[in-house]
Amino acid sequence: MYLKSIRLHNYRNYEDLELNLNPGVNIFLGANGQGKTNLMEAVYYLAVGNNFRGNRDLELINWQKNYFRIHGQFKKEKSNRLFDLEVYLDKNKKKQIKINGVKAKSIGDLHGNLQVVLFSPDDLKIIKGSPSERRKYLDTEICQMDKGYYKLIRQYERVLQQRSNLLKDIRYRHFGKEQLEVWNNYLVEYGSKIIFKRIELLKSLVPLARNIQHDLTENKEKFTVTYQSSLGAIGDFSVEEISEVFSHILREKEKEEIERGLNLWGPHRDDLIFYLNGKELKKYGSQGQQRTGILALKMAEIQIFHHKYGEYPLLLLDDVMSELDDKRRAYLIDLVNEKKIQSIITGANIELVTQKILKDEVFQIKEGKIIK
């Protein structure tokens, strides 16, 4: 699959941009603050429905305007048809998504159309950041592969909020305890499915990432990731078995949750633990080793997408080439060239990207303007 064109209206520092992309490599060069990451963010938004830098949607609108619109056309490998995606948002918080001209009901409908794998300097937060960063990473990848997962996450979050309010009512106002079992059932139903889907993805992702890490380090480093569940050791459990454990814990720990007025167990409390040569990567790994671990994960994601859909996702490399040594840069570029993966690469220095560049593949960005 490849993104043929993208058009931006009032998105960040782009007032009106129409850009045709190469099906292979697209390199965007420019100084800091010119719009390189804004462009990358817009492509990501078109695929996932949010931005990867954590800004609120309203902050993405050009400060002089009242709305933004992103429109893209992409092609799938086994089809001659062009597919359309459009996202619109105004300052009244009206958000509209169109897929092939038809209004979508939710962000979840956007997922699974244009697939992307993003690698940016901020990805170090997956290892170095809080557990919520790691859960977000895992859930975002599953959303792209499983159209029903976004709805499942939203259902779980709503139940979590309702149950949290109920626990506080029971604690402080001494009423509502008879409703707790109903919300427990919903929490277990949605939460068990989330945990199962997360673990299933890791079962595919981790062995691939481990092999890539071996290649990148000449078999000197053994990389692995484990899922740390608040429910205990449930790695090989079915959804039904996870539900049984979850229900038992909620019954057993009911008094503790009421006393604290908090939801203490479930996928919202889970974490990923990264290991390198048997030691926790977050605590004992260098920044270079942590970055290599993230690179291995991202390259493994590409393989999973290809296995599932029979085509490669769009690869977004946002200002990361300068962070990688020669060997890792060469690994990335060789993979892109060998597999013919469409890539959007940003940077300040063309020499840090690759020597194997065609003139037509290079663009310059300056103050929200793009010159081929």
The mean pLDDT value for 22-40 works out to 92
Closest CA to 139 of 221, 234, 227: 227
* Stronger pLDDT, 354 or 237, i.e. the higher one: 237
Residue found by looking up tokens 């992409």 in the block: 74
The mean pLDDT value for 47-62 works out to 91
Q: How confident is the model at residue 19 (pLDDT cuts 50, 70, 90)?
A: very high
Which of 3-17, 39-53, 324-338 comes out lowest in average pLDDT? Answer: 324-338
Query: Are the C-beta atoms of 188 and 159 separated by less than 8 Å?
Result: no
Q: Are strands 25-29 and 343-347 parallel, antiparallel or unpaired?
A: parallel
Q: What is the pLDDT of residues 202-219, one digit of tens each?
A: 999 999 999 999 999 989
Which of 71-80, 230-239, 257-266, 343-352 comes out lowest in average pLDDT? Answer: 343-352
Cα first-last separation, the chain: 23
Q: How confident is the model at residue 282 (pLDDT cuts 50, 70, 90)?
A: very high
CA atoms within 13 A on the CB side of 196: 19
Does residue 358 have a pLDDT over 70?
Answer: no
Q: What is the pLDDT of residues 143-159, one digit of tens each?
A: 999 989 999 999 999 99
- Cα–Cα distance between 82 and 104 in angstroms, integer? 18
pLDDT at position 199: 97
Does residue 36 have a pLDDT over 80?
Answer: yes
Q: Are strands 67-75 and 2-11 parallel, antiparallel or unpaired?
A: antiparallel
What values do phi and psi take at 201, rounded to 5? Answer: -65, -45
pLDDT at position 327: 85
Q: How confident is the model at residue 328 (pLDDT cuts 50, 70, 90)?
A: confident
The mean pLDDT value for 261-287 works out to 96
Cβ within 8 Å of residue 79, ≥6 positions away: none
Q: Where do runs of H (alpha helix) occur along 225-316?
A: 239-252, 254-260, 281-284, 287-309
Three-state secondary-structure class, residue 64: coil
Q: Are strands 314-318 and 116-119 parallel, antiparallel or unpaired?
A: parallel
pLDDT at position 354: 54
- Cα–Cα distance between 84 and 18 in angstroms, integer? 14
- Cα–Cα distance between 128 and 125 in angstroms, integer? 5
Q: How confident is the model at residue 360 (pLDDT cuts 50, 70, 90)?
A: low
pLDDT at position 356: 58
The mean pLDDT value for 10-21 works out to 96
Q: What is the mean pLDDT of the chain?
A: 93
State what percent of residues in the chain have pLDDT above 90. Answer: 81
pLDDT at position 357: 58
The count of other CB atoms within 10 Å of the CB of residue 354 is: 19
The mean pLDDT value for 323-338 works out to 86
Q: What is the pLDDT of residues 84-131, one digit of tens each?
A: 999 999 999 899 999 999 999 999 999 999 999 999 999 999 999 999
As a whole number of Å, the CA-based R_g of the chain is: 22
pLDDT at position 337: 85
Closest CA to 270 of 161, 134, 144, 146: 134
- Cα–Cα distance between 149 and 198 in angstroms, integer? 10
